[in-house]
Structure formats: C-alpha cells, structure tokens
Structure 1
C-alpha cells in the first residue's frame, strides 16, 4: 500500500519504541562519558561518536563555553568545537547585554530601597566562573522580601519589563524585556522555591544572612554566602533532575566551582547548615555524584561526615516521589491554601488551556481538564519511577 496509509505507514510498536529509546540512551551515556573526561582533566578520544550528537549533548549539559575553550576538546572534536564556539560567541554577546541590564536593575532596586539577592546561575556566573558567559542561563533569578514584592514589580515595570501571566499559584513572576532582539527574562521570587517545603528552609532572610557582594556585576549586588550557595545548588540539582532527562553536567561544575572557593571554616559552616536543615544525606549524595564525574574536589572527611549523619527532613523530601513531595508541600499550607493551590493546578483558567492546546470550544474544556490530569499523573509516575 502507498505511504498515505496501510502497513507501510504503521507507527513503530512499543517494543520498537523501547529499542530506539534504549539505543539512544546508550549513545547519550557514551557521549556523557566522553564530555565528562574533559571536565575531569582526563580526556579520552571521541572514537566513532558523531559530531552532531556530541554538540547536542554538550548543549543539553550547558557546556558549550567550557568545552569551546578546552584545548584537549578542541583537538579531540574539532568539528563539534566549531559549532560550540559559535554557541559560546552568541552567549558572550548576550551576556554583555544581560550584564548591562542587570546593572540597571540593581541600581533601580537600590534607588527604590528594595533589597534583592541574586540566586542560582546569575549568582554563580559572577562569583565562581572566570567569565560569566561560561555559565549559560536562560533567565536571571532574584529574590526579594515578601513585603517588598509589590515595590520590586513596580521597579521592573518602570524599566520596561512585561510580566508574564500566572495561571497557577506560585511564589514568583517572570518579567521579560527585549534588547537588540534578544529577550531577557527575570524571575522575581519572593520565596526561593514554589515548593512550600523548600521555601520554608530557604527564606529571604536565610539567603541574605551572611550575603557576599557581587562587585563584578554591580556595587550593590549581593548573593548568598558560599556555604549557602552550595546548599541551594545541591537542593536545586536534586529537585530539578527529576524533570529532565538526567543530570546536567553544568550543575556538577557549579558544585566544584563553589567548593574551590571554600576554606575549612566555610566547610564547617556548610556541614552545620546541612545538619540544621536535615540535608546531610542529600548533600553527600550530590557531592559523591559530582566527584564520580569530575574527580575529587571535596575535603576528604567532609563527605564522610555528611554521609554519617542521620537522615534528615530535607534528604527525605528530595528522595521522595513527586507525589510524596506534593503531599509534603500541601502539609505546609493550611486547608484553604491547599485547596486553592490544587484547584489552580487541576483546573487552570481557560486561557492556560488555550496556551497548551490552542483555541478550543468552551464545551471541550472539561475533556481537556481530564486529559491534562491523566497525562500529568502518567508523567509524574514515570518521573518517580513508579
């Protein structure tokens, strides 16, 4: 029969789909080992790995800038290097514009009396990387005190940023401004995470306590202390990897770069912090995984002490399934807040449905709610490995 129907146009069977997925996973694992060898300083040859696949995987891991400047990688994969060099050059241009824009934000916040703290990639780019552009990031995360979120929103609006619509109850708003044809999103947080459990551990006051200046960006810019940066990076890594196809290597490089700045006193403060928030086991897990890929960089006894601690509340939360985490988050809210949140997640406004499914008749909305709920449950179970 022709290609418009019949046997020749049959979709692959589930067994064939699984075979393709398994084969791709094997190739990804081989490429990951190849890429990690350069990060660890023990490069291996590319062998039969295809340049296009190397480039795709390097982009996924956020390594374009680091690999394009690695002489061993340049020699081992010259074709892939050319593509990654173009990516790195584009990142560098974007970073010049981003730096200028972030400087304006810092000045405007200071003038308005709004205290802010840089989080995640923005803080790391300017504190622990030789060049900020080597730490690729899609957006800039900043946090303000909850009572100052209104003033912070006004400042961003006055600078020309437009707020994205929020369809689900969250503790952040994304603002975007376009410069030279490039959009620059800023995630304004008044709680450090949309997870209630994590937000209670990493409050604005906690993140700002012991904050350090980020003078490479702006005289008034600050970021959390090194031990808090490491703790937050580990939590972010273990929480977010369930929503991606594995671990991004740039997150592991972040851990190593932060650790390189920490002296013995900072490590003692970090170990004490993990004991306080119940994250010792999770920290040991993440640091071991990073060292397995990148080589040793943590003081010899630090991981042993972290691993020997009793399992705490944060470690249990991060090890839980997605449903387990949601249950723990709901327990942090009162009944009314929990019901409001669940209603927003399960039954978002019709505008949100149209963003996902496109324009649909009103009568189809109940069917789409059911479809959304069913697919959400399937995805959650798949991510949880259950």
Structure 2
C-alpha cells in the first residue's frame, strides 16, 4: 500500500509542472496498484482541472486513471457553465435592488486568478452584503429564482440559497452579512476595508466586486484553518484529509502578483489584527507543497506573534460550548450576541429531523432537548 503522503507529493510535483515551476514527474511503477487512490486524492485536492488543462501532465499515466481525472474535470466544467448564470443573476438582482455585494472565497479566486474559472473547483459561491441590506437581499435573490434552504442550521451570519438548473444541478449561494461566521474570528477581518477597498471583477459581470488581495488571502487562510479541522462539503458528504492543494495554488497565484508594497500591507495588516499565525501557517503550507516564494522579511514579521493564537485555539481545540462562550463575549453589540445565542439554542425542525430521522413523530421541543443532551454528552466526554 502506497502512503498517502507519497501520492500527494507526486500530485504536487505534477501541479508544479502544470504551473511552470518544475519538471513533470514520471508515473511511478509502484502506483500501478493504487491508481484509484491517486484519482481520489486528485479529486480531494481539487486539481483535476489543472492537470487536464496541460496536455502533457498525465502523458504516461494509466488510461483508467486519466479517464477518472478527466471525468472529474468535465464535471467541474459543466458545473461552472451552469453555475455562472446563477451567480451573475444573483449579483445583478442585488445591484438592481440598490444593494452592494462582494464575491468571496472560491468564486472570487476563480475569476480573479485563474485563466479558466472552471479550473478552480468548488461547490458554491459566496456573496457578502451589509447587515442592514439583508432583508432586501433576500427579496432580490427570490426575484432571481433562488429559494432559501430552511433546514440549514449552524451558521450565525450566513444562509444557503438554492437554484435548480435545467441541467438537473442544484446550485448553492451562501449569502453572508458578516465576512466570517464567528464574532471571535471576526477580529481578524477588517470589515470596513472589505467595502472601502473592494476591487471590481468585471470578468464575472459588471457590478461584481471582490475584496482586496490582503483580505482575500487572510480570509482564505481562515477558511483553510477551519476546513483542516472540520472538513468541507462538496457535492456530497463531508470531506477530510489534510491540506487541499487547490488552496496552495490560490496562494501561489495570488502572491505571484504581489509587489513589495503588497507584502508590506499584508504584514502590517496581520500585525494589526492578530492574523499572523493563521496566515503564516497557510503560506508555509503552500511553500512546502508548491514552492511558493515567501520573502524572509515577511516570514520574520509573521513569526513575531505568539502561536497558537487565540483564534487558532478557537478553531483547533475549543468545544461547542467554549466556542459559543467566546463568540458571545466577542460580539460587538447585544444584537450580535443574541443572534449567536439564538442560533445555538434553536435548530429548525427540518435540521432536527435530519439529525434524528427515526424520531420524526417527536414534537419539536423534545427534539431540541435531545440535541442539547447530545451536545452536553459530547462536551463531557471530551473532558
């Protein structure tokens, strides 16, 4: 059996070759017994499109492995072709309603960094609006043909909207009214800077905007830290398995465009907000995996803050109740604290039935009590 790290190192070498920074590695004969595992890791890492975009990347690979990777790349292209009209329609509906929005995370990266947006595999798009615009934003999304997922439970400041395409695909848009879902983590993100320094993304559509490169990188590092601990969802069950290579590609492509002033702005921002440990972890991961260039002066400044930071501990070691307590005390006003507590306390019946499908005859209050008991049991068992 071939070690997963060995497979990942081979895939990373192939991706580096596609990005023009390394010679293409040959397919190892020892991999002939684990072709399916290689294809599975490529799908996990989100790099099938990048490998298929280079005609030489898989030249000596077994045909069955190439076929599996090509299928994943075609699915990504189909998803992109059917998702693009949905996100464009949503942005235009918000714009027509006089609502500013900012595209975040995967779709922002796909259309600002990649020659073909389909190469940046993802499962949804993320739109940020201002809290005061939330009610009008919901009406705008409904006018664009989207419907809210009322069974969703967990996020404090975001909700899922769905669109059923003619091709039979369900497309998801996460509507955010805060740039991150935790008041405690929100300390790392300058909300005013998101709106004051947003950058036009005309390639997606007129009226589309993304955060500036510094916020984009910091937000990506936060997202990576969370998904490393809790996994992520993409067209199916939660996936786990370490650093995803596509995140490293994001950082590589983003920082390739950095000037000395951009690196200075990133370092200063991290020092001001306390984001240094999380950002350094993400950048060093990309350096190790894909050879991303991290200036020594930037590394030195980012290592000055204590690690693990409070935000890293929140993500990696806090239990549910500890995170709730931290979020309540970190809330900037009473309304935010109440929103956090309400979200934690009251799950919609649809979510409770998903969690306890055999108890569909129970009243909602009883299902809520059962959820509380399960949470307390889990907390106690962790010590």
* Higher mean C-alpha deviation, range 345-354 or range 98-107: 345-354
Are 2:57 and 1:58 aligned?
Answer: no
Q: 1:82 to 1:298 in 2, by over 3 A?
A: same
Give 1:325 shift.
4.4
Question: What secondary structure sits across from 2:184 in the alignment?
Answer: helix
Alignment counterpart, residue 287 of structure 1, candidates 278, 283, 287 = 283
Shift of 1:160: 1.1
Partner of 2:353: 354
Instruction: Name the SS of the counterpart of 2:298 in structure 1.
Output: helix
Question: Alpha carbons of 1:55 and 1:374: their partners in 2 closer, same or farther (altered >3 Å)?
Answer: farther
| 1:367 Cα deviation after fit | 7.6
Structure 2 counterpart of 1:93: 78
- Per-residue CA deviation, residues 298-342 of structure 1 (Å, 9 max, x unaligned), is 2342222222x2338x93312441335444223214789657745
Change (3 A) 1:367 1:27: farther
How many angstroms does 1:277 deviate by?
Answer: 0.6
Does the alignment pair 1:183 with 2:185? no
Assess if the C-alpha contact under 8 Å between 2:48 and 2:70 holds in 1. yes
1:329 to 327, 330, 334: 327
1:154-212 CA-to-partner distances (Å, cap 9, x unmatched) read 00001111101144462111110111211111000001122112234435433122111
Note if 1:122 corresponds to 2:101.
Answer: no
Match for residue 10 of structure 1?
none
Aligned length: 355
SS in structure 1 at match of 2:174: strand
2-structure distance, mates of 1:298, 1:114: 38
Q: 2:140 aligns with which of 133, 155, 159?
A: 155
Compute the TM-score of the two structures, normalised by the length of structure 2.
Answer: 0.84
Q: Residues 346 and 373 of structure 1 are in contact (CA less than 8 Å); yes or no, is this contact kept in structure 2?
A: no
Gaps of 5+ in 2: 17-21, 232-239
Change (3 A) 1:269 1:235: same
Q: CA 1:295–1:368 in structure 2 vs 1: closer, same or farther (change >3 Å)?
A: same
CA distance in 2, matches of 1:304, 1:327: 33
Which structure has the larger Rg over C-alpha atoms? 1
- 1:254, CA displacement in angstroms? 1.0
* Cα separation, 1, equivalents of 2:368 and 2:82: 44
Deviations 1:209-242 (A, max 9, x none): 2111111111211101112111111121112210
Q: Tell me how far 1:77 sits from its aligned partner.
A: 4.8
**SS of 2:175 mapped into structure 1:** strand
- Whether the 8 Å contact between 2:129 and 2:177 is mirrored in structure 1 is yes
Aligned to 1:7: none
1:296 aligns with 2:280: no
In structure 1, C-alpha distance between the alignment counterparts of 2:258 and 2:336, rounded to whole Å? 40
Q: How far apart in 1 are the matches of 2:134 and 2:61?
A: 49
Q: Retained in 1: the 8 A contact 2:189–2:273?
A: no
Secondary structure of 2:29 counterpart: coil
User: What is the DSSP-based 3-state SS (H/G/I as helix, E as strand, rest coil) of the residue aligned with 1:262?
Assistant: coil
Contact 2:352 2:368 in 1 (8 A): no
- Structure 1 position 134, deviation (Å): 0.4
For residues 52 and 155 of structure 2, what CA distance do their matches in structure 1 show? 41
Q: Is the contact made by 1:161 and 1:176 (CA closer than 8 Å) also made in structure 2?
A: yes
Per the alignment, residue 27 of structure 2 pairs with 45
**Aligned positions of 1:202-281 closer than 5 A:** 202=189, 204-244=191-231, 245=240, 246-281=242-277
Flag the structure with higher helix content: 1
Q: In the superposition, relative to structure 1, how do residues 144 and 350 fare at CA in structure 2: closer, same or farther (>3 Å)?
A: closer
Question: Which of 101, 105, 122 in structure 2 is aligned with 1:137?
Answer: 122
Task: Return the alpha-carbon distance in structure 2 between the equivalents of residues 274 and 332 of structure 1.
Answer: 19
Shift of 1:366: 7.1
Cα 1:357–1:287 shift into 2, 3 Å:
same
TM-superposed deviation, 1:132: 0.2
The 1:367/1:115 distance shift into structure 2, 3 A limit, reads closer
RMSD: 2.7
The more displaced of 349-358 and 81-90 is 349-358
Most deviating of 93-102 and 186-195: 93-102
Q: Aligned equivalents of 1:115 and 1:335: distance in 2?
A: 25
- CA drift of 1:93 comes to 2.0
Q: How far apart in 2 are the matches of 1:216 and 1:351?
A: 38
Cα deviation, residue 28, structure 1: 2.3
